[in-house]
């Protein structure tokens, strides 16, 4: 009887896993919906919908709007499942369920009660990148690190669990990855000396299944020294501690506040880790593994299959958390499973996502000057490492020395604002920053819950260029080159959307939703929304009509001056001065704007 009970329990567990996984995959496969923040598990942000296309997109009209009732920066996007839209806000992280079949009537509203003391612990505005859906639940990872599962129909709290400790600087700004029977979540707080991690919780109970730290002993970072590889070689024992001085890895950063993708056939998920702590490189000698790293891990166990560290011993705050976009493409005459990553450091990487082999590493903004490029010779001792230009090395210049003219700035050639990929054109569409900086490191001591930065920054447009602070580019990930580029006055801090209608959408910090031709980049449409756009464009079909949705509400790192009322040019980790002119074009506001074609 006991054996039978165990057997039936096991079958029920497997059935539950399959149901949860199949439910979300079914929802994602329905192009009429937008069931996950990234569009699909591959992070392609591509829609098969083509009712709105390059021929008629110029006729778009505003169909309806919704005020979120919250100021500060609005990142992420709504989800649409069936006739319900799920909408989120920055802190206090309100979630709305809107009935699309009833003029957007509010079906339910969830407003968590969070301690406002978490606000000053959040590095770069009080943003949140959206809720997730799976198995009849809506998942929210709050600013205070509470992970909540809500009943998708009623908004009732089904379970909640605390993932971190804001008193130590641990917060959250990211969405979560619901995959199989798990919800995988990250953590923010690299500027407060936290130790980054990813954690898997049981989708049905909230029970912790596993946790993988970014640095530390092998058992903490879930590494098999002989079978986890870096550029094809085993990482060896103690890889997460032996490039750190003493026990500094315990406050080493490497936070995981970006995007997640998954390959269900390989049973792997992919993400990147952030900057090492502190920003002063002289205080943490060594490569500081595994900060600044692309990680591939087993979904069920969290065990690492391979790593690739992009910026060893980071000297510029070039977090590696940007999205990993998964494609199947031909390279060197062979069809391969690829991963493409546009890093903050200004380099775009194409890798084999099964083996971790590095295939392409090229600058996706010509202004990038801190490196001459990555050593691509597998026989070289420096294989896979970027060659650092001494003039722009903040460590070689020394503490209390202002290193000037570094490109890109700390916010990178691209921050978290996600790119899109069209399998129709085999092209990536990338929102970018065209910004450089001066960087002065200084000695800093660690106190739990207090900033642990150790650098003063100033930001400005890249010199000898178009005078603006951004470009929207089309990128060839096989040849590693720009196909076309659209100059923008400010950084493009909005996530892109590519569609089968040969249209690519993105938003601007001034507040414009823009539509361009996927092949040429020619502008086809623009509309000025009430506030600057740092949200991500999404699309869905309802009552036979395709709609385009975008959150506006200026903020984020680029808009932190406006969002938080800051005026000192060096505040906002250097962004306030760089984006001071933004206040001439837009003001605070939180609104969803939905577009469609006229009848």
The response to whether 191 counts as a known ligand-binding position is yes
The response to whether 129 counts as a known ligand-binding position is yes
Do residues 255 and 189 lie in contact, with contact meaning Cβ atoms separated by under 8 Å? yes
From CA 226, how far away is CA 237, in angstroms rounded? 8
Catalytic residues: 317
Q: What element of type H or E holds 427? A: strand 427-433
From CA 35, how far away is CA 27, in angstroms rounded? 6
The answer for residues whose C-beta is within 8 angstroms of residue 145's C-beta and 6 or more apart is 162, 163, 164, 165, 166, 170, 171, 172, 187
Token reading at 478: 């096989």
The response to whether 456 counts as a known ligand-binding position is no
The response to whether 117 counts as a known ligand-binding position is no
Which of 485, 466, 560, 443 minimizes the C-alpha distance to 173?
Answer: 560
Do residues 476 and 440 lie in contact, with contact meaning Cβ atoms separated by under 8 Å? no
Proportion of the chain in helix, strand, coil states, percent, rounded to 5? 15, 35, 50
Locus of tokens 């391979």: 306
For residue 227, the tally of other CB atoms under 10 A from its CB is 12
- CB crowding 172-187: b at 16 or more within 10 Å, else e: bbbbbbbbbbbbbbbb
Which ranges of 453-502 does DSSP label H, i.e. alpha helix? none
Q: How many residues in total does the chain contain?
A: 599
Pairing of strands 105-110, 95-99: antiparallel
Which of 244, 245, 226 minimizes the C-alpha distance to 236?
Answer: 226
From CA 424, how far away is CA 223, in angstroms rounded? 38
How many helices, marked H, and strands, marked E, lie in the chain? 5, 40
The response to whether 173 counts as a known ligand-binding position is yes
The response to whether 89 counts as a known ligand-binding position is no
The response to whether 255 counts as a known ligand-binding position is yes
- What residues pair up with 596 in beta bridges, in sequence order? 61, 547
Burial class from Cβ neighbours inside 10 Å (0-12, 13-18, 19+) for residue 247 reads: exposed
- Which residue numbers belong to the known binding site for pyrroloquinoline quinone? 75, 129, 173, 255
- Which residue numbers belong to the known binding site? 75, 129, 173, 191, 255, 275, 317
- Which residue numbers belong to the known binding site for Ca(2+)? 191, 275, 317
């Amino acid at each position: 009887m006991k054996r039978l009970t165990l057997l039936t329990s096991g079958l029920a567990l497997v059935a539950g896993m399959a149901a949860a996984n199949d439910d979300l995959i079914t929802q994602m496969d329905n192009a009429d919906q937008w069931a996950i923040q990234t569009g699909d598990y591959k992070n392609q942000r591509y829609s098969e919908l083509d009712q709105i296309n390059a021929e008629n997109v110029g006729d778009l009209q505003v169909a309806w709007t919704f005020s979120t009732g919250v100021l500060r920066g609005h990142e992420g996007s709504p989800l649409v499942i069936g006739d319900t839209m799920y909408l989120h806000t920055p802190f206090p992280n309100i979630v709305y369920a809107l009935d699309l079949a009833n003029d957007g009537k509010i079906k339910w509203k969830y407003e968590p009660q969070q301690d406002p003391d978490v606000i000053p612990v959040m590095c770069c505005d009080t943003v949140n990148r959206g809720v997730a859906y799976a198995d009849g639940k809506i998942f929210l990872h709050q600013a205070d690190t509470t992970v909540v599962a809500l009943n998708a129909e009623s908004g009732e709290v089904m379970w909640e669990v605390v993932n971190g400790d804001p008193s130590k600087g641990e917060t959250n700004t990211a969405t979560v990855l619901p995959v199989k029977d798990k919800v995988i979540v990250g953590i923010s707080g690299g500027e407060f000396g936290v130790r980054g991690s990813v954690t898997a919780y049981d989708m049905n109970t909230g029970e912790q299944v596993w946790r993988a730290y970014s640095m530390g002993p092998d058992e903490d970072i879930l590494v098999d020294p002989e079978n986890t590889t870096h550029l094809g070689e085993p990482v060896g024992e103690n890889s997460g501690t032996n490039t750190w001085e003493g026990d500094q890895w315990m406050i080493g950063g490497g936070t995981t506040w970006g995007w997640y993708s998954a390959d269900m056939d390989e049973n792997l998920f992919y993400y990147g880790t952030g900057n090492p702590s502190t920003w002063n490189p002289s205080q943490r000698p060594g490569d500081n593994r595994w900060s600044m790293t692309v990680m591939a891990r087993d979904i069920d166990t969290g065990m690492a299959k391979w790593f690739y560290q992009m910026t060893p011993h980071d000297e510029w705050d070039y977090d590696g958390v940007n999205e990993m976009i998964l494609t199947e493409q031909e390279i060197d005459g062979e069809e391969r499973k690829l991963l493409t990553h546009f890093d903050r450091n200004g380099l775009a990487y194409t890798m084999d996502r099964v083996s971790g082999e590095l295939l392409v590493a090229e600058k996706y903004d010509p202004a990038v000057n801190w490196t001459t490029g990555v050593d691509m010779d597998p026989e070289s001792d420096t294989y896979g490492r970027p060659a650092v230009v001494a003039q722009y090395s903040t460590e070689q210049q020394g503490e209390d020395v202002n290193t000037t003219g570094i490109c890109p700035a700390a916010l990178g050639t691209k921050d978290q604002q996600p790119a899109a990929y069209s399998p129709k054109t085999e092209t990536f569409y990338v929102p970018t920053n065209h910004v450089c900086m001066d960087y002065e490191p200084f000695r800093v001591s660690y106190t739990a819950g207090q900033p642990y930065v150790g650098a003063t920054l100033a930001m400005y447009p890249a010199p000898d260029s178009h005078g603006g602070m951004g470009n929207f580019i089309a990128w060839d990930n096989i040849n590693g080159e720009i196909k076309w580029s659209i100059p923008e006055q400010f950084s493009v801090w909005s996530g892109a959307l590519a569609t089968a209608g040969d249209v690519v959408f993105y938003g601007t910090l001034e507040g414009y939703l823009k539509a361009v031709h996927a092949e040429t980049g020619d502008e086809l449409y623009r509309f000025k929304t009430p506030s600057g756009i740092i949200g991500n464009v999404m699309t869905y079909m309802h009552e036979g009509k395709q709609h385009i949705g975008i959150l506006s509400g200026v903020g984020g790192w680029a808009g932190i001056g406006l969002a938080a009322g800051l005026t000192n040019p060096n505040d906002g980790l250097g962004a306030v001065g760089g984006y001071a002119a933004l206040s001439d074009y837009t003001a605070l506001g939180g609104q969803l704007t939905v577009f469609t074609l006229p009848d």
